[in-house]
Structure 1
């Protein structure tokens, strides 16, 4: 993806990829295997430098995660 607003802080490249990861938050989340933390990643296409940004999750997505 190319965006003129994004400039990699390491190599000054302007192309990037966007991804998403989920993680557990605490002990109970780990026990019940609920990934209640969501992060968006932005990875530079040239040097693969990656930044993570915290994203909001809904209660409904957390419930679906409990059953999967």
Structure 2
């Protein structure tokens, strides 16, 4: 993917990839293995420098995650 508006802060490259990851929050979410924190990321395709941005999670996705563990 190429976007002329994106420029890596480390190497200046213009190609990147995006994705999402989920993580646990506090003690109870770790005990019940519920990933209630969601982050989006942008990673440079050349040097792999990655920036994370906190994303909102819905209650329904948290319940589904709890029930499937």
* TM-score, reference length from structure 1: 0.96
C-alpha RMSD over aligned residues: 0.6
Structure 2 gaps, min length 5:
none
| 4+ residue runs over 3 A deviation | none
Query: Partners in 2 of 1:66 and 1:42 — Cα distance?
Result: 27
Matching residue of 2:66:
66
TM-score, normalised via structure 2 length: 0.94
Gaps of 5+ in 1: none
Q: CA deviation at 1:21?
A: 0.5
